[in-house]
Structure 1
């Protein structure tokens, strides 16, 4: 695999910032003698060094490779869906040769014209974080031997953070590539680089569950502050990741059980009915680390996010599709324009410009440090609702509970019954499984608009029960296709292998054990 793993000086400096809360802690850090690369073997001596290495794992989430990791996660989760378009897309088959390489690649992904040379399929940023986690997991035990003030419980808690982050990163890879190299040991230098083949989907999934279960068993419940609890892995972050992974693999009872662990903790809650839109937006998205947050990438003044260039600048690299701006998602109240879903206009996007404002608000390029939201409490609630619908299809008690979960969320968000294209029908518990499932699916579209989840929701619902609901996906990709290529796109997506990304060409060149994903061979 590529030399994607070497820890750079900037990451180490960020760890320095995080650790230097006192003069003594700064002094200890300066004594570590970090090198330009992964930390030297003589580093692993004290619990302070172990904590610094764990903080390096989190620091890597804010960076990436050629692009920030958060930007990859947005693109992978949204461009193949039906809520986002690019600023350069006109909806026609025009000549795009004047666009730069990045904008062309974005347009190709939007139009499902993917190839292995598309820079957006580069997984380097994800494996970089995986390698930082591998470093902690592999070398962390040395600290337990050398620092007698580090307890077994503390040690396992630190390792839990690395295990959970590694599991989360492999979960992103699983959903986007299906089969990837499963690298579980650290690459510390060029001589450590291995030629690894892809592992099977089921083996990757087993590793994800094992990693995140370790965190669920051993992570702390709280670090004592809201910011730390939302920015670091806790026991309940781990249960949330587990719920998502179980739902993806159609293990509904385990999904429900994991959701119930988070719910029963009472550490998270929805804002109450009647919360003003501005108050909700500022707390959850503009400032972050709210009672609704579970895990967020902690961008700040030291490390700003990529979202201003993506959404806030005049060029608008990405924007909402016209249908959303016209009221097809969040609805309209023709009698009272001020009565609106608090998730809609001026929270998720601007109806006037189609701009995505969830991450920008009134920020500028120099103050762009809104968080990236991996999980919010509403995700746990809606995952439980979806799992209940499919646990025992037709079970009216489960159906009623699922419908109640969605309805409660709709009430606190002031969801509107009338959409530009019709009305939101609330199903009865006696309705069909597919109808109630679609009710949950549609609410997820509103709740998590532009949060990098839409494509996964589409694919998960389509592939369930051996692609029983394939038509859901086909309808969505057909609707967004250029009219002259609509049938071609439909035929492509009937081949289920096309639902995953190609492996980037450079990975194939540097790792001869890799074989291109079948659809792109």
Structure 2
């Protein structure tokens, strides 16, 4: 049974000084509070609980996915007056400003502050309560360092230049004005913290219940490290970071393989597709991953109860908003038909024998539909798809079908939010391998490209209802480094759509194909407070062409507003700019603090 991590602290108060940090009530910081193991670990649990809140999960969706070619705001029904929908519409139209609710970073900094409080206050408990041993503290420390690093990694990818602090803000009298750091500095600090966390991690096989993936274990730490190194490698064109990404991916794959062979990898009957890559078998994959959750394939996922609905993010975004039977966003037209993964009319899926085609969206196959309701993570029906077309047809539910029997009831809505899982790691490794391959045509001894293809092929085969020549991937179709890079990008979209990955995937793709940017400097260091486009490289046309696929009209004009690096990031929140004199606005938003309106 899914469980929330215990959270026994009092509520939190916003301060009047700086919205960056949400301070706890005095009971949390009073010296009388930090007296025993239960109190220390309650604060650890509280950091996880803050991570699962509505505001944080929505930002994972919007920052990591919504700006990509996968999603657009709900266009079929009227949601005027809903603030979430209104701000999503502004983002899609290129009219982001610093008052947009998704420009606000305070909820993520609240998680960071809770981690900092544990790291500062918990060591004192070791000398007070014998039950709170140094070993216990070290495992708590490992989790807090990892969770804090994950939060900073999200912030860097969303804003680029962000304040970095390890200070525990305990009361409103503290000076909390912190300047932004260059993104390379923040990521290097995260890597250092994660390497420290690996000295005393929770074993990935240490639990056999929800905690195996509901807290950050050794595999979870390595997943964050792999992700950060892949990002750094793409932005800074660093082969060494690609190699480190591969190293951590290999460690995780080996760990999952060992767990599979030992029979203690998780829950459910999902037999692995291969012994080399212990993915859940085709028949059970959707049910185990997205309906039951905490699967053997999972590495770290945020735990939802389905009863309290403390976080309504997935429900509001994908399923029901304002008591209407549709979410604030819809999947774009590229998910609705079968076609090619390249060319002007490229689609996500190339065969209707790919189970994900039917599993991820409602109403696919409707030639008249311009967008589709998202099914992934909000369909609680555990039934599997049959391999024949005739038996698969009933699952093609119409968009906005309120009476669809496959829809979950709201009183038991509890699908988890998956942060990392094995297929993601395999495809990270494939991406890094491709970038280390030699330019030019694929040769028989090109081990990097061959291994990258095998990783993609294993993920792809797991989802195919028929493993025949017409449906399986063929290495002969991908003849060089460029085509293999496209294959990995396409497979990541097929496998990980709507999981908060696509925008970051596209940003890495963009960075790899432009002049290397100086990530050791903030944008203010580069350009000052005034935007000078000559100081920032143009974004890659292949990147902008992919993002433009989401737009039914005016795509060229909207993408023209995203021509250079600063526009890929959100503005610094206006509430923080007003009170922290050390902050500098992203120069793309410095004139009038807004994009030019349509």
- Structure having the higher helix fraction is 1
In the other structure, the counterpart of 1:68 is: 55
Moved more, 373-382 or 299-308: 299-308
Task: Determine helix, strand or coil for the equivalent of 2:498.
Answer: coil
Give me the whole-angstrom Cα distance separating, in 2, the residues matched to 1:267 and 1:252: 26
Give me the whole-angstrom Cα distance separating, in 2, the residues matched to 1:256 and 1:330: 27
In the other structure, the counterpart of 2:549 is: 479
1:379 counterpart (416, 421, 424):
424
Tell me the C-alpha RMSD between the 2 structures.
Answer: 2.9
In the other structure, the counterpart of 2:481 is: 433
Q: Does residue 1:329 correspond to 2:348, yes or no?
A: yes
Deviations 1:450-494 (A, max 9, x none): 00110000000110154588122111233334644x443343322
Deviations 1:255-285 (A, max 9, x none): 0111111111133678534977663222111
Moved more, 469-478 or 163-172: 469-478
Deviations 1:81-106 (A, max 9, x none): 0111221379xxxxx99544332210
Q: Does residue 1:114 correspond to 2:96, yes or no?
A: yes
Distance 1:267 1:191, change over 3 A: farther
- Please state how far the C-alpha of 1:122 moved relative to its aligned partner: 0.8
Give me the whole-angstrom Cα distance separating, in 1, the residues matched to 2:209 and 2:372: 33
- Please state how far the C-alpha of 1:148 moved relative to its aligned partner: 3.4
Give me the whole-angstrom Cα distance separating, in 1, the residues matched to 2:426 and 2:326: 36
In the other structure, the counterpart of 2:393 is: none
Distance 1:478 1:376, change over 3 A: same
Instruction: Note if contact 1:399-1:429 (Cα within 8 Å) is conserved in structure 2.
Output: no
- Please state how far the C-alpha of 1:135 moved relative to its aligned partner: 0.6
Distance 1:467 1:410, change over 3 A: farther
Instruction: Note if contact 1:311-1:360 (Cα within 8 Å) is conserved in structure 2.
Output: yes
Give me the whole-angstrom Cα distance separating, in 2, the residues matched to 1:225 and 1:384: 27
Number of residue-to-residue matches in the alignment: 476
In the other structure, the counterpart of 2:171 is: 189
Q: Does residue 1:82 correspond to 2:72, yes or no?
A: no
Moved more, 377-386 or 108-117: 108-117
Distance 1:367 1:181, change over 3 A: same
Give me the whole-angstrom Cα distance separating, in 1, the residues matched to 2:541 and 2:87: 27
Task: Determine helix, strand or coil for the equivalent of 1:294.
Answer: strand
Give me the whole-angstrom Cα distance separating, in 2, the residues matched to 1:62 and 1:467: 37
- Please state how far the C-alpha of 1:231 moved relative to its aligned partner: 0.3
Instruction: Note if contact 2:226-2:246 (Cα within 8 Å) is conserved in structure 1.
Output: yes
In the other structure, the counterpart of 1:279 is: 284
Moved more, 462-471 or 353-362: 462-471
Deviations 1:82-139 (A, max 9, x none): 111221379xxxxx99544332210111222211121111111111111110111111
How do residues 295-310 of structure 1 correspond to structure 2 at under 5 angstroms?
295-304=300-309, 305-306=311-312, 307-310=314-317
Deviations 1:153-200 (A, max 9, x none): 322111101000000000000111011010211111111241111111
- Please state how far the C-alpha of 1:423 moved relative to its aligned partner: 9.0
Give me the whole-angstrom Cα distance separating, in 2, the residues matched to 1:423 and 1:514: 53
Give me the whole-angstrom Cα distance separating, in 1, the residues matched to 2:99 and 2:463: 42
- TM-score of the two chains, using structure 1 as the length reference: 0.84
1:101 counterpart (83, 89, 92):
83
Task: Determine helix, strand or coil for the equivalent of 2:127.
Answer: helix
Distance 1:311 1:481, change over 3 A: closer
Instruction: Note if contact 1:350-1:357 (Cα within 8 Å) is conserved in structure 2.
Output: no
In the other structure, the counterpart of 2:180 is: 198
In the other structure, the counterpart of 1:452 is: 500
Deviations 1:10-43 (A, max 9, x none): xx994249xxxxxxxxxxxxxxxx9566442322
- TM-score of the two chains, using structure 2 as the length reference: 0.74
Instruction: Note if contact 2:115-2:145 (Cα within 8 Å) is conserved in structure 1.
Output: yes
Give me the whole-angstrom Cα distance separating, in 1, the residues matched to 2:224 and 2:250: 13
In the other structure, the counterpart of 1:241 is: 224
1:174 counterpart (156, 175, 194):
156
In the other structure, the counterpart of 2:411 is: 366
Give me the whole-angstrom Cα distance separating, in 1, the residues matched to 2:306 and 2:326: 24
In the other structure, the counterpart of 1:142 is: 124
Q: Does residue 1:512 correspond to 2:494, yes or no?
A: no
How do residues 33-72 of structure 1 correspond to structure 2 at under 5 angstroms?
38-63=28-53, 67-72=54-59
Distance 1:436 1:424, change over 3 A: farther
Q: Does residue 1:267 correspond to 2:259, yes or no?
A: yes
Instruction: Note if contact 1:247-1:387 (Cα within 8 Å) is conserved in structure 2.
Output: yes
In the other structure, the counterpart of 2:215 is: 232
Q: Which consecutive residues of structure 2, in runs of 5 or more, have no partner in the other structure? A: 10-23, 234-240, 275-279, 339-346, 380-406, 440-444, 517-538, 591-598
Task: Determine helix, strand or coil for the equivalent of 2:180.
Answer: coil
